[in-house]
Amino acid sequence: MSRFWSERVAGLEPYKPGEQPQVVGMVKLNTNENPYGPSPQVRAALKGHLTDELRLYPDPESARLRDALAQRFSLNRQQVFVGNGSDEVLAHVFHGLFQHKLPVLFPDITYSFYTTYARLYDVSYRMIPLDDAFALNIEDYRQPNGGILIANPNAPTGRFLDLAALTTLLQFNTDSVVVVDEAYIDFGGQSAATLLADYPNLLVVQTFSKSWSLAGMRVGFALGQEPLIEALNRIKNSFNSYPLDRLAQLAAEAALQDEAWFSTTTQAIIASREQLAQGLDALGFSVLPSAANFVMASHRRPASELSAALRERHIFVRHFAGGRIDNWLRITVGLPEENHRLLQALREILVP
Ligand SMILES: *Cc1c(COP(=O)(O)O)cnc(C)c1O
């Protein structure tokens, strides 16, 4: 707190990102990064551009990247928006599409940036409780609203809502924007992108941070019909005309060209996730069904204690202290040997 702060700054509740520890030899399973790294073609593409051309501004429209995404999703460039990570895309969604009189609806347990953005942009919101098994019931969303925001698969639960359920939700909610945050969609879900032609109020948000293994480059995108994308462009061009730097645009374009790397690595993560879930189950954990690159697990031993004991062994997982998920751990799926080290450590902790 400082006397130079405005009331607004003093009243903010900034998002707390998962920690980025600097421990040599650690097993880092706390922020859902992809253990495989980006396609080798990304490195090759970047190398060729570490030149004097970095003195020039990047393409403010990210035209090539948007064309590549449009092609991938059978859309046109005007139906694709790109931002500096999907976090920035979501910020523009709150700013540009959710500022209405009625509250935006989202689950009580979901990506905690949503409440941060709502407060930053003075968007009123209502959190709808997930059921006891952390499942989302779309009937709860049948109420007047200024927008609906659903992470699918949800984070940090990993639970997935199928396309039939989302379609029903879109059918009864035609007067406000429905945003589906698909940060983890490539790990086993069905994207709502196939519904875009039928629903002018649908916006699908994805990221290169998880399945494309480019969290360090900060590239996210939104897909929707032109008027929604135009709203995001109006905000973007009133905020920062060059949100994606040259290297980020190139990296994302190169990643999209290596479909083989993408499918091999995502399939490997899916297979490891199932093994990890089985290993945890065998140690007495309850594990939620996951369609993401992480699992949520709970044990009769307190999650805070397990997380601390793992940390002593330089294994980092995410524990959200307080609230309904206080006794759960969110564990990112790592490389097979990392998952093995985690299970080994838990075995030592639980059966000394
Ligand atoms: C990781 C994540 C994001 C943010 O991704 P960036 O593109 O890295 O900003 C958005 N939504 C959810 C649900 C996430 O887990």
What is residue 280's predicted lDDT score, i.e. its pLDDT?
98
The helix (H) or strand (E) run that includes residue 257 is helix 246-257
205 alpha carbon to ligand 1 midpoint, in Å? Answer: 9
User: What is the tens place of the pLDDT at every residue in 230-267?
Assistant: 999 999 999 999 999 999 999 999 999 999 999 999 99
CATH architecture of 7-38+260-350: Alpha-Beta Complex (3.90)
Ligand 1 geometric centre to CA of 32 (Å): 9
pTM for the full predicted model: 0.97
Nearest atom of ligand 1 to the alpha carbon of 209 = 8
Whole-number Cα distances in Å, 95 to 85, 221, 239 = 16, 16, 11
DSSP 117-164: HHHHTT--EEEEPP-TTS---GGGG-S--SEEEEESS-TTT-----HH
Residue spans of the domains in the chain: they are 7-38+260-350, 49-258
Cα angle for residues 149, 318, 115 (degrees, 5° grid): 30
Say yes or no: CB of residue 244 within 6 Å of ligand 1.
no
What is the C-alpha to C-alpha distance for residues 191 and 189, in angstroms, rounded to an integer? Answer: 6
What is the structure's pLDDT at 48? 87
Within 10 angstroms of residue 139's Cβ, the number of other Cβ atoms is: 11
Residue 101 Cα, ligand 1 centroid: separation in angstroms?
A: 27
Distance CA 317, CA 347 (A): 16
> How many Cβ atoms from other residues are within 10 Å of residue 216's Cβ?
12
pLDDT tens digits for range 18-40: 888 888 899 999 999 999 999 99
Question: Domain 49-258, what fold?
Answer: Aspartate Aminotransferase; domain 2 (3.40.640)
215-237 pLDDT, tens digit each: 999 999 999 999 999 999 999 99
pLDDT score at 138? 97
Q: What is the pLDDT of residue 352?
A: 76
Whether the CB of 182 sits within 6 Å of ligand 1 = no
* Cβ–ligand 1 contact at 176 (below 6 Å): no
pLDDT of residue 1: 81
Q: Residues in the chain with pLDDT < 70?
A: none
- Mutational pocket test of ligand 1: of 94, 181, 212, 214, the residue with most ligand atoms within 8 Å of the beta carbon: 181
Q: What's the pLDDT at 351?
A: 86
Strand residues in 166-236 grouped as ranges (E): 178-181, 202-207, 220-224
- Atom 14 in ligand 1: residue holding the nearest Cα: 183
Task: Give the residue, by CA position, lying nearest to ligand 1 atom 2.
Answer: 183
